[in-house]
Structure 1
Amino acid sequence: MLKTRQQAWGWPKLRLGYAWMMSLGFLAGDVVSLGLAVTLSVWGRWIFDGQYYPSLYLAWLPLLVFFPLAYAIVGLYPGVGMSPVDELRWLSLMTTLVYTVLGSVIFLVREGETYSRLVFLIAWVLSLLMIPIGRGMLRHFASGQAWWGQPVIILGAGKTGELVLRTLLHNPGLGLKPVVLLDDDPAKQGEVLEGVVIRGGVAQAPQLAQKLKISYAIVAMPGVDPRRLVQILENYGHCFEHLLVIPDLFGLASLWVESKDLAGLLSLEVRQQLLLPLPRFTKACIDFCLSVVIGLACFPLLLIIAALIYLDCPGPIFYTQARLGRNGKTFYAVKFRSMLPDADQILAAYLERFPEYQQEWEQDHKLKQDPRLTRVGWWLRRTSLDELPQLWNVLRGEMSLVGPRPIVTDEIPKYEEKYALYTRVKPGITGLWQVSGRNNISYEERVNLDAYYVRNWSVWLDFYILLRTIWVVLMADGAY
């Protein structure tokens, strides 16, 4: 007998999604991350200088309570349904605000005591890094637990409802757990989609919301008559604290969209960040500065990798390949060589010997068991370190640190109408597809992720992807 997700999660015997448990988890993680950031900055300053004793700062530790208070004000506890990009933005802004206020107060009322400004600066930088990482780790390890998330009812079991259901199930970190589907089509009632039962018509929503104390509902019926949709919202909207409506606007940007009231008419303002000169200039400055910092920090590692490639297999250390950049212009992307010198002949012979892998190659132009890789090359691919020389392409203005995956001419037909979106930005060393499963996702999903990035581009999205890249590289998630 098919085991539904309600049964697997202990529903309805156990009410899902205790918001206070999520809040407590995030609160504990934030406190630990803040404490670690402050401890490292204080002790680090004392070890390298010895002028400022750590005990000097003990009196100010109670002030750390202002950080969780600031996070709570902007809805970061429990943060259910919040985009990770929005979460990163609010965490950064509120952390910076609290550090600024506390720093100003401490240095104004220090009464003869001397404090190190460098300690506050280092603590601020470490907090900006460690708090999002701590939250990401909590989601990674806790999002599969029964207590994680809030239960949600989905109104509508058509194609849009299925899309919403799969999206929530594949992104448990959002904290929305679909437990019931409702649809007025009698033929669908009783079916099980992705382990969730279609229990009846939408008229059951108030009863289920009251009985199970479900505070979230998603209306996923974009094709329904507008008058019927308004009726549903008016009849059932008061039953839920949070009612989300999926509009019939697929393909538009979903981040940074703002609702506007035009004399009683609902409108959505979609800002095209790519058309604004200041954000593009900011992105270019971040690319240049971070590329220089990363390049200098990794220079010893670059030399070690170059030596390993030279000793492992005869041939050039670097490999260049023509790729398509912004406005469709061709450039040569630089990588560490990870393949044998006669890679093309080896591939042809391999596919001839094992024709069952021909479809895999034609679909993604990649093989999980690639016979062309050298021993060092296999390790470089697993760690993504073969991409490091592309910092040179970033400094030359041909690539960005974050952007769509750089493609070759043969891949243009697979992008179809989305190729025009691809050419609006520079391709990136890392991007959404790299932090969303990499080679474990289909080519169509890669294209959609590239299109999503272009439509929703912002500096905050870039920072989120860069932080996610660190985790993905460490875990070698989807790399081959």
Structure 2
Amino acid sequence: MSSSNPDFPIRQKSLYDISVASRIGRWLAPLMLIVADYLVVVLALLTAYYFRDSFLRTLFPGLSPLTVPSKYVYIIIPLIYLGLFLYERLYTKRLPFWQSAELVFKVSLFTMAITTGLLYFSGTAKEISRIFIISSWVFSYLYIVSERYLLKRLLVHIGLWQKPVVVIGAGKTAELISQVYADEPGMGYKIVGLIEDNFKERPLIGKYSLLGNFNNVEEALLKSGVKDVIIAAPGLERGKMVELVYRIQPLIKNITIVPDLFGVPMANIEVEAFFNQKAIMFKIRNNMARGYNRFLKRTFDLTGSLIGGLLILPVVLVIAVRIYLDSPGPIIFAHNRIGFKGKVFPCYKFRSMVPNAQEVLDKYLQENLSAREEWERDFKLKDDIRITKIGNFLRKTSLDELPQLLNVIKGEMSLVGPRPIVKEEIEKYGQYINDYYLIRPGMTGFWQVSGRNDVDYNSRVQMDSWYVRNWSLWQDIVLLFKTIVVVIKGKGAY
């Protein structure tokens, strides 16, 4: 379709004006991040010092005074941080929050390891306590992550961290890209316009300016002044895709191509290029097939459940007493679930229903057709008459699942994993049941932080499969933190 066609609604007046703030931000934003990182690292080290030398010495007077050379606080440790941040390109990369937090975690860990080595070989180690080293690592990580989150949001607001991009394509793929940038405003990407042929069929056209079509793509990009382009047209045939890239590459700085790989495990993809053959290959690793990853996950589960169990013991005792007073009967309920490699195990929960729950359910489903349909569809009832007063509170807060820490310690469950299912649900998983069998079901997981009971069953299955195929230890940590937020909000729990 030609750009001269009067039916083609190119909205020239809506073209994004590349602001002075955006151009200045290319240089000023990284500088501001460097200064802020330096300041919060120093602040973290001073916090660790006073935590060890003032707070802990007040509690434990036997601790010897702490001496930390000033050069480590104000020069050496901060410079190690800044050097590793520069190496990881954390002053130019635009990553989602949790990916950025993962890199900061690794940098802070490496920094403390390097610092410990320097202290040891310089003979200063005797003067500095291990408590100071560990607390420095914890405080610096928390401070840096918080500082970067807040500063980037501020820089985006004033236009110094915004990067304008043009998206070629306006279909479902482009809609996903738009949603990603909306969910991660700290990345700073701003879609300033679209280039699309079939504009009448694309709802996204109503949200962003239409700059042109594939025939006049060069003219549209030159007028926009944008130097970053995303090609979100996975349906474009190979020859036309190559031609499009060759046409626009001389006009811009960066091209991002979104391939048609939706549904393929992406967390562990490695790209290999073969220049002679002009080809690339994607290598996909199955992390759960590696013994050391299974050992790492099991170690994380045991450590987390033992520490967590000790911390929540008072809460567990209070809940147990309240359950007994509310409805005399067993305090903990065990229900058979399908676990690792398809083995059946007793899944523990605080009892949240009346003692004769099965009888009550059978009678209720016989008398209520809509409830029976809901049960057969989701294996849950939104308005379940079997739930006790305290049970309703426990379910909304997910506190009824605390006894599953015993399942984790026994090796039947994991802290994070697919939702534990009953035998009748195996058929609903279809071909994805083999993914489920690869890993222990979890106390929390992808489904639990994505809406819980508000998510339809097919989506739950897809989420469980996605989690297994894209597992990483950092992902488990992220999901645990997200679970806390979801539990506090109480969204989708019943």
TM-score class, shorter: 0.7 to 0.9
Following superposition, the deviation at residue 229 of structure 1 comes to 0.7
Amino acid of the structure 1 residue aligned with 2:118 = V
Q: Secondary structure at the residue paired with 1:196?
A: coil
Q: Aligned pair in 2 of structure 1 residues 211, 409: CA closer, same or farther (>3 Å)?
A: farther
Q: Aligned pair in 2 of structure 1 residues 214, 374: CA closer, same or farther (>3 Å)?
A: farther
Report if the CA contact (8 A) 1:208-1:214 is conserved.
no
Q: Aligned partners of 1:475, 1:130: CA distance in 2, in Å?
A: 25
Q: Aligned partners of 2:261, 2:489: CA distance in 1, in Å?
A: 36
Q: Aligned partners of 2:248, 2:356: CA distance in 1, in Å?
A: 66
Partner of 2:238: 226
Q: Aligned partners of 1:448, 1:372: CA distance in 2, in Å?
A: 30
Amino acid of the structure 1 residue aligned with 2:111 = V
Q: Secondary structure at the residue paired with 1:181?
A: strand
Q: Aligned pair in 2 of structure 1 residues 434, 104: CA closer, same or farther (>3 Å)?
A: same
Q: Aligned partners of 1:434, 1:21: CA distance in 2, in Å?
A: 40
Partner of 1:116: 129
1:44 to 51, 72, 83: 51
Q: Aligned partners of 1:269, 1:114: CA distance in 2, in Å?
A: 48
Q: Aligned pair in 2 of structure 1 residues 108, 22: CA closer, same or farther (>3 Å)?
A: same
The structure that has the greater radius of gyration is: 2
Superposition pairs for residues 66-81 of structure 1, below 5 Å? 66=79, 67-77=81-91, 79-80=93-94
Q: Aligned pair in 2 of structure 1 residues 445, 194: CA closer, same or farther (>3 Å)?
A: farther
Partner of 2:294: 280
Following superposition, the deviation at residue 261 of structure 1 comes to 2.5
Which stretch of structure 1 is more off in the superposition, 278-287 or 373-382? 373-382
1:429 to 420, 443, 458: 443
Q: Aligned pair in 2 of structure 1 residues 160, 259: CA closer, same or farther (>3 Å)?
A: same
Following superposition, the deviation at residue 108 of structure 1 comes to 4.6
Which stretch of structure 1 is more off in the superposition, 63-72 or 302-311? 63-72
Following superposition, the deviation at residue 390 of structure 1 comes to 0.9
Q: Secondary structure at the residue paired with 1:466?
A: helix
Q: Aligned pair in 2 of structure 1 residues 254, 28: CA closer, same or farther (>3 Å)?
A: farther
Which stretch of structure 1 is more off in the superposition, 121-130 or 91-100? 121-130
Q: Aligned partners of 1:70, 1:109: CA distance in 2, in Å?
A: 21
Amino acid of the structure 2 residue aligned with 1:38 = L
TM-score between both structures, scaled by the size of structure 2: 0.80
Following superposition, the deviation at residue 348 of structure 1 comes to 7.2
1:93 to 93, 98, 106: 106
Partner of 2:424: 410
Q: Secondary structure at the residue paired with 1:217?
A: strand
Amino acid of the structure 1 residue aligned with 2:307 = V
1:446 to 427, 443, 460: 460
Q: Secondary structure at the residue paired with 1:405?
A: coil
Q: Give aligned-pair identity as a percent.
A: 33
Q: Aligned pair in 2 of structure 1 residues 117, 357: CA closer, same or farther (>3 Å)?
A: same
Which stretch of structure 1 is more off in the superposition, 206-215 or 449-458? 206-215
Matched, 1:12 2:16: yes
Q: Aligned partners of 1:312, 1:273: CA distance in 2, in Å?
A: 45
Q: Secondary structure at the residue paired with 1:420?
A: helix
Q: CA RMSD in A?
A: 3.9
Q: Which structure 1 segments of 5+ residues have no match?
A: 1-5
Q: Aligned pair in 2 of structure 1 residues 444, 210: CA closer, same or farther (>3 Å)?
A: farther
Following superposition, the deviation at residue 376 of structure 1 comes to 2.9
Q: Secondary structure at the residue paired with 1:202?
A: coil
Partner of 2:163: 150
Q: Aligned partners of 2:28, 2:326: CA distance in 1, in Å?
A: 52
Q: Deviation per CA, 1:124-155, whole angstroms, max 9, x where unpaired?
A: 2444456446666788x879968575333221
Following superposition, the deviation at residue 228 of structure 1 comes to 0.8
Q: Deviation per CA, 1:154-206, whole angstroms, max 9, x where unpaired?
A: 212233333433444345455444342322236447x5457334443135554
Q: Deviation per CA, 1:328-375, whole angstroms, max 9, x where unpaired?
A: 222221111223335456667888999777776655444555554434
TM-score between both structures, scaled by the size of structure 1: 0.82
Following superposition, the deviation at residue 254 of structure 1 comes to 0.9
Q: Secondary structure at the residue paired with 1:319?
A: strand
Q: Aligned partners of 1:358, 1:289: CA distance in 2, in Å?
A: 41
2:115 to 87, 90, 102: 102
Superposition pairs for residues 198-347 of structure 1, below 5 Å? 198-203=210-215, 205-262=217-274, 263-264=276-277, 265-343=279-357
Following superposition, the deviation at residue 267 of structure 1 comes to 0.8
